[in-house]
Every structure is written in structure tokens, then in C-alpha cells.
């Protein structure tokens, strides 16, 4: 499994750069990951989404799709596109330190 260094920490990633080890993630790392993809300061809305994704991943064993975040997380799709512009499912799972959602290109 490939690794990369982010914020001085060695992180296991897949071939697309998504983290593969759930426990390597931290809030400080999330800030670094967000900055790397052009998202500035993480707001309350970002954290709500990130925390839902991480909690859901622990329960379900896979990264939630955009539809699941909207339906189960109660976060409107329009808001997700504002928080994580262009490809929100991909970006929010990246910042949350989770694998890319199934079916996400």
C-alpha cells in the first residue's frame, strides 16, 4: 500500500490518494487535506458533513454516497455542492480521510 507524507505525518493512501487507514486521520490532517484541494477554512457545515461521514463509515463499513449524506445526514445536496464544489462526494470523503465512495469517478 502506498504512503505519502502530509503535515509531517506518514499516511497510507490508495492509488487515487485517498486515505486507507481510518485511525491515521485527525482534525488537523483534515485541514491540511482541505487546503490541498482548494477548500479554505473548514466551517461548521464542513465539520457536520465530515463527522457524519466518519460516524457512518464506522457503522456501515463503506463511505456514504452523496445520496446517503443527504437522506441520512440531513445535509441538502445544494449545500454539499457549496461546501465541496465540483465533485462533492469525492472531496468530502477525501477530507474526511475515507476511501472514495463506491461508484464515484
Share of the chain above pLDDT 90, in %: 82
Instruction: Determine if the pTM surpasses 0.85.
Output: yes
Residues with catalytic annotation?
A: 104
Query: What's the pLDDT at 101?
Result: 85
Using the Cα atoms of residue 17, residue 55, residue 26 and residue 10 in order, give the sign of their dihedral: negative
What is the rounded average pLDDT for all residues in the chain? 92
Strands (E), the chain: 3-6, 9-12
Mean of pLDDT values over 57-73: 94
d(CA 25, CA 44): 18
Amino acid at each position: 500500500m502506498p504512503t505519502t507524507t502530509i503535515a509531517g505525518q506518514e499516511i497510507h493512501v490508495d492509488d487515487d490518494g485517498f486515505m486507507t487507514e481510518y485511525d491515521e486521520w485527525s482534525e488537523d490532517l483534515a485541514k491540511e487535506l482541505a487546503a490541498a484541494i482548494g477548500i479554505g477554512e473548514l466551517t461548521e457545515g464542513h465539520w457536520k458533513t465530515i463527522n457524519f461521514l466518519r460516524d457512518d463509515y464506522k457503522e456501515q463499513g463503506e463511505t456514504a454516497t452523496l445520496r446517503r449524506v443527504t437522506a441520512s445526514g440531513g445535509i441538502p445536496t445544494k449545500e454539499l455542492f457549496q461546501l465541496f464544489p465540483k465533485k462533492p462526494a469525492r472531496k468530502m470523503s477525501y477530507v474526511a480521510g475515507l476511501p472514495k465512495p463506491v461508484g464515484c469517478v
